[in-house]
């Protein structure tokens, strides 16, 4: 079996998180990313501006909780005379990798780590192409790939992340708010309700929003075994 993502972003929600530090460079990366998403027929794109690359993972976390399908991370970390840039790049890369692994939301790497501004400009639309364009295309392809029937997790809808299941098995509720599982005292049993919603095809982000809890809480509940 050979699988590959398509370069079609129609019907999916994307976000771009761009650091303003070294804005001469990141502005060009942003323009390239936006142009690529437009060419891929993306109709729903949010652009989130943050002070620098250090703040990108936190913004990505908030966007995942909101329910995006894919994220493009753009920034520029220039190497200096100290180890600061290397430590920053490593921490940001690790944080973004952990986020996409736990959430299954692709976060495309468009954060430059050049030695100087000339190298950065070369990768923002000059000699080395535009890494913002490349990152955006990577995000589109990964969203398409992860929404393919062969790679969807059990319990995810046939339309992919954030879409309801088209299975012939009827759902026991039309909306999550009208069919929550209650405790004996009448309060909502959020853990049991989260498992039920996930089994019916809702994404973790949708469940978190419906129950008014953080995405990480839903992730932990679904990962753990139900208590007897």
- Averaged pLDDT, groups of 10, the chain, 228 residues long: 85 97 95 96 96 97 95 94 89 96 96 93 85 96 89 54 42 49 78 84 79 74 68
Torsion of CA 41, 44, 47, 53, to 10 degrees: -80
pLDDT at residue 9 in the model: 92
What pLDDT was estimated at residue 153? 58
How high is the pLDDT of residue 21?
A: 93
Instruction: State the span(s) of the chain assigned CATH 3.40.50.960.
Output: 13-146
Q: Which residues are catalytic?
A: 84
Helix, strand, coil fractions of the chain, as percent rounded to 5: 45, 15, 40
Residues for the chain: how many in total? Answer: 228
pLDDT for 152: 67
Tell me, what's the pLDDT at 190? 85
**Considering only the top CATH level, what class is 13-146?**
alpha beta
d(Cα 176, Cα 191) in Å, to the nearest integer?
Answer: 13
Per CATH, the number for 176-223 is 1.10.10
Q: Residue 197: what pLDDT? A: 85
Determine the pLDDT at residue 165. 40
pLDDT of residue 216: 67
Parts of the chain belonging to CATH 1.10.10? 176-223
């Amino acid at each position: 079996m050979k699988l590959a993502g398509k370069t079609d972003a129609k019907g999916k929600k994307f976000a771009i998180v761009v650091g303003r530090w070294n804005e001469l460079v990141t502005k060009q990366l942003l323009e390239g990313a936006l142009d690529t998403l437009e060419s891929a027929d993306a109709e729903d794109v949010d652009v989130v501006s943050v002070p620098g690359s250090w703040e990108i993972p936190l913004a990505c976390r908030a966007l995942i909780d909101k329910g995006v399908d894919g994220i493009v991370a753009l920034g520029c970390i220039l190497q200096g005379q100290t180890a600061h840039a290397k430590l920053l790049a490593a921490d940001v890369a690790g944080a973004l990798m952990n986020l996409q692994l736990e959430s299954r939301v692709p976060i495309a790497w468009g954060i430059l780590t050049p030695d100087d501004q000339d190298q950065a400009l070369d990768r923002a639309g000059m000699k080395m192409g535009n890494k913002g364009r490349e990152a955006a295309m990577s995000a589109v392809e990964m969203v398409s790939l992860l929404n393919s029937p062969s790679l969807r997790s059990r319990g995810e809808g046939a339309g992919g992340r954030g879409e309801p299941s088209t299975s012939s098995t009827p759902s026991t509720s039309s909306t999550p708010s009208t069919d929550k599982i209650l405790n004996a005292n009448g309060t909502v049993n959020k853990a049991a309700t989260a498992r039920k919603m996930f089994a019916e095809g809702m994404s973790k982000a949708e469940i978190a929003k419906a129950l008014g809890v953080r995405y990480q809480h839903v992730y932990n509940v679904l990962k753990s075994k139900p208590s007897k």
